[in-house]
Amino acid sequence: MNIHNMFKSAADCKVGMYYPVRFLEGRSTHNKKYNNFDYPCSFFTMTDVDCSKVSKDGNVLERRYTVKFDTCLGYFFIHNVLSCYTDWLPMNFYQLSDTAQLYYRRCVLPFYNGVKSTLTIEEVQSRLQLKTPDTHGLRRVIKNGLAELEAATYIKNAKEEYLHGHFRYTAYKTPWTQMNRN
């Protein structure tokens, strides 16, 4: 019931906002600001709610419903999710190790325009969903991924620091214009 109520509340919520949308035209991308302050709308509508499994005592065990992204704001939201609001990755990216690719996607790409990212070892472990309790092995995996990304020019000035009882990893995202895309 709580999940159903959460979806219903989100569907009923009307928002007016500036929403940046990235568009691909030919081989280049550009950003546009979508403004719907004058006509607030929801991100989606929820329809066809069906209690598909009900227990003998009347408790709902399973619900099925349809979520439709049928507003402009919903369409742009899905567009941004599918495009990840990022540029296309060069072909040589896929030659990197799985760990380096994952680190770049989850720990570097969220930072725009060459902004420095500093994450604790615990944050990196959580973002990469690494389950090992072995700190030494975890540090080696992270440093190898950073070294690989730096050698391929996806990041620069990568370093590990021990500060306030935590290992911290810092790197700058290389701007697209400075990246070696071979």
pLDDT tens for 15-64 read 888 877 777 666 666 777 888 888 888 888 888 888 888 899 988 888 88
Residues of the chain where predicted confidence (pLDDT) is lower than 70: 1, 24-29, 82-88, 111-116, 181-182
Domains of the chain with CATH codes: 2-83 (no CATH), 91-178 (3.30.1370)
What SS3 class is residue 21? strand
pLDDT at 24: 67
Question: pTM of the full predicted structure?
Answer: 0.54
Which run of H or E residues covers position 138?
Answer: helix 135-151
CB neighbour list of residue 85: distance below 8 Å, 6 or more residues apart:
20, 22
